[in-house]
Chain A
């Protein structure tokens, strides 16, 4: 029994040492102080949400009192990384910690959040992939109306179409048009990566509708698609720029085009499909933050404001740029409109299951 008590005390001691006092139990810490500590920090209460000692005349919002949890996605995925970047910066604008939970996927996150208490402490970070799953009939909820959108935080990213440089050189492929011509002469010979049920699949179908006669194979992760391209398992890569950027810079990979109406700021030298004469929909990824349906309007407004400040924060903007994404803010109502239109677009484009 003594040994057991000793073990318990040791556990408590060691874990107490690891509690670096990073939690903000009060609102008096400043930004300078937070830099010296570990953990996500939050500093002064915001003017729009006065603390208990404030003399402001607006009715006091008794929120937030403890850590806010954001349901992200699978650990290590792009969505998860974006969620953590967001949480890190959001924590500057709310007086509590913001924690990201890993889940088994975006649909799972959305469902968990939908079923959580509508108290503003459980939020969901998701992308249009949830909407696509909804349209395909793979969810038991309506992705647009089952929750309340707080804000849209990222729009863009986009998809690039790339191939290996030696392949392009060997077959005299210098542009998207050359590729289309090649695939017409060799139908279904080339293998192109897609990602079933995700926005990348939408992008792949767009390229195919332009005349690219390639055989799609689903590979869920951009990093794995890059390895598959370099290893020769696939011939064409469709995906984000961040994963393939360095290989383009070394010359190992050649980028043929960007799916969009105008050139991406991340690759100004790469032509977009519209300027090449192909009228395709850009398969932009839209990240949004949502909460359970019956969350009080005041809490939604508070979170919307905090999100706006986060999206405007240079630290967050820089983090997104490093992942080849662009910060974009849209409020609650506008995000609802964007997501509704996106869902309708997917249905009209025939993605329904």
Chain B
């Protein structure tokens, strides 16, 4: 019953969010600066896709709603109580996302080696339970792997990954 309820809720949320996305996606097509001399404008396909997303969203939402209505009240309250612990798990997900976003933001100013060293170390620490962490090993991997990849890309493929703050130092080495 709990699984059924979870699926029903998931269906409804998916439906609502997807429908909202479809509406916004469709609305944005009116802001395109179109070339009206062509027989078929650049807005046609996006509108078709918005329609398709909306239809699927509606189908999923109503399916979920139908199932939700068949589940008794008591079962719904029970499931709500059991869901309390999940917020902590999503916090770790948020932390991981912030690390990935941090990589995107820091890559230009800090460069590949510094950014990935920090990101890898933080990610190693985040993904392991506190009592099982091996900081020394993580430090070794975090320091050596990005550096090795940087130099391998440069010397093997002549491809220079972003240098960032290490630009002057690397200019002397490379």
Contact = CB atoms under 8 A, between A and B. Distances in A.
Are A and B in contact, CB atoms below 8 Å, in the complex?
yes
Interface of A: 1, 8, 12, 15-16, 18-19, 22-23, 25, 39-40, 65-67, 69, 97, 99, 101, 117
A65 B174 contact: yes
Nearest to A122: B160
Interface of A, helix, strand, loop or mixed by DSSP: loop
Contacts of B156: 15-16, 18-19
B158 A40 contact: yes
A192 B157 CA distance: 42
B132 to A, nearest CB: 13
A16 B148 CA distance: 10
Interface of B: 137, 145, 148, 152, 154-156, 158-160, 167, 170-172, 174
B152 A19 contact: yes
23 contacts: A1-B137, A8-B145, A8-B148, A12-B148, A15-B152, A16-B152, A18-B156, A22-B158, A23-B158, A25-B174, A40-B158, A65-B172, A65-B174, A66-B170, A66-B171, A67-B154, A67-B158, A67-B160, A97-B158, A99-B158, A99-B160, A101-B159, A117-B167
Contacts of B172: 65
A201 to B, nearest CB: 12
A15 B172 CA distance: 23
Contacts of B154: 23, 67
Contacts of A99: 158-160
A19 B156 CA distance: 4
Given A16-B152, A23-B154, A25-B174, 19 more contacts: A8-B145, A8-B148, A15-B152, A15-B156, A19-B155, A19-B156, A22-B158, A23-B155, A65-B171, A65-B172, A66-B171, A66-B174, A67-B158, A67-B160, A99-B158, A99-B159, A99-B160, A101-B159, A117-B167
Contacts of A1: 137
B42 to A, nearest CB: 11
10 shortest interchain CB distances as A-B pairs: A66-B174, A19-B156, A99-B158, A65-B171, A19-B155, A97-B158, A15-B152, A18-B156, A67-B160, A15-B156
Contact of B158 (A8, A16, A39, A65): A39
